[in-house]
């Protein structure tokens, strides 16, 4: 029995090491490519702008087209990484993709688990949201055309921010967002883990390898430690909030919700689409055959290109 426990612990540790190394190394190597330079795409970057108290965890980068005429629509981008790894620096490619298409992008850091468990990440996102509303115009952005975008854990956080902007809630961080009186014009949660509790439900719906189940359980174990278990976990499970079908105080914005058929958390994408539609809002759920988690980051691949084309077409439609 002890040997079994030790084996599971070792398997989880090795899996986490391999996954963390893959994503972080991949991001660094991609930056070495000549086309990774923002100036080659007519984009300038203002790095490490502070959006709140603290150090590196409360910094953001601003990506914007060098050639601008008037104010541009705004994208607030929130990186993924299971709430415990990665940063704005690992997700530079996402910010660049939006900026080269004509958006002022605010690509944020936030505090990571397990050192900073829930609700630290959404608290920081709320601070960043309020800061962007107050400061976007300084950088040439128009917050009346605000889109929230993120993938994986970032998808969870932008969905939670959208709830905070449209529902009157009791959490102090949600009230900060609601008090801005600005509802995003679009929300783009890609391949999101939208219910952090009971991640084993995903393995009950279809067979998942132990390696994948370990990664999912790892999210819950790091983001939702025992000491917060008695408090409201609503904003860790934003899809569950929307599934209650309680009418929002302000209308929900349109959602663009992409995912791949081989993504182990595909079910959350479908649930979100149904929940948003049931509340009377537009929900464009786009499922890409054969694609894994965060496939759209591999921008040279056909389905990734299609996903980005669909993303930009959606934004052009809803922000016009």
* Fold for the domain defined by 2-318: Rossmann fold (3.40.50)
Q: How confident is the model at residue 13 (pLDDT cuts 50, 70, 90)?
A: very low
- DSSP letter (8 states) at residue 179: H
Cα 121 to Cα 108, 241, 261, 280, 301: the distances in Å are 11, 18, 28, 28, 31
- Of the pLDDT bands very low, low, confident and very high (cuts 50, 70, 90), residue 7 is very low
Count of C-beta atoms within a 10 Å radius of residue 78 = 32
CA-to-CA distance for 238 and 171, rounded, in angstroms?
14
For 87-124, how does the pLDDT look when each residue is reduced to its tens digit (9 = 90+)? 999 999 999 999 999 999 999 999 999 999 999 999 99
* Domain segments of the chain as ranges: 2-318
* DSSP, res 261: T
Task: List, in order, residues 6 or more apart from 192 with CB less than 8 Å away.
Answer: 150, 151, 152, 153, 154, 155, 156, 159, 257, 265, 268, 269, 272
The model's pLDDT over 75-88, given as tens digits with 9 standing for 90+, comes to 999 999 999 999 99
> Can you say how many angstroms the Cα of residue 105 is from the centroid of all Cα atoms in its chain?
14
């Amino acid at each position: 029995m002890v040997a079994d426990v030790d084996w599971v612990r070792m398997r989880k540790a090795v899996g986490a090491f391999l996954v963390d190394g893959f994503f972080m190394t991949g991001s660094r190597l991609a930056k070495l490519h000549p086309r990774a330079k923002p100036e080659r795409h007519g984009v300038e970057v203002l790095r490490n702008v502070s959006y709140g108290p603290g150090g590196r965890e409360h910094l953001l980068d601003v990506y914007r087209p060098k050639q601008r005429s008037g104010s541009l629509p705004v994208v607030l981008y929130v990186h993924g990484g299971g709430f415990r790894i990665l940063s704005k620096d690992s997700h530079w490619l996402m910010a660049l993709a939006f900026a080269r298409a004509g958006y002022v992008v605010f690509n944020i850091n936030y505090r990571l688990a397990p050192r900073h468990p829930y609700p630290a990440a959404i608290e920081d996102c709320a601070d960043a949201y309020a800061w962007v509303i107050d400061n976007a115009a300084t950088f040439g952005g128009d917050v009346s055309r605000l889109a929230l975008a993120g993938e994986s854990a970032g998808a969870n956080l932008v969905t939670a921010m959208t709830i905070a902007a449209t529902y009157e809630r009791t959490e102090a961080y949600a009230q900060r967002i609601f008090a801005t009186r600005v509802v995003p014009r679009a929300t783009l949660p890609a391949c999101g883990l939208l219910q952090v509790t009971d991640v084993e439900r995903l393995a009950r719906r279809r067979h998942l390898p132990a390696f994948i189940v370990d990664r999912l359980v790892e999210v819950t174990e790091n983001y939702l430690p025992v000491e917060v278990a008695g408090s409201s976990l609503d904003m860790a499970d934003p899809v569950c909030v929307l599934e209650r079908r309680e009418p929002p105080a302000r209308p929900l914005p349109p959602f663009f919700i992409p995912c791949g058929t081989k993504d182990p958390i595909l079910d959350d994408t479908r649930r979100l689409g149904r929940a948003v539609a049931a509340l009377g809002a537009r929900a464009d759920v786009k499922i890409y055959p054969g694609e894994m988690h965060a496939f759209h980051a591999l921008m040279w691949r056909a389905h990734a290109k299609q996903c980005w084309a669909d993303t930009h077409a959606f934004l052009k439609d809803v922000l016009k």
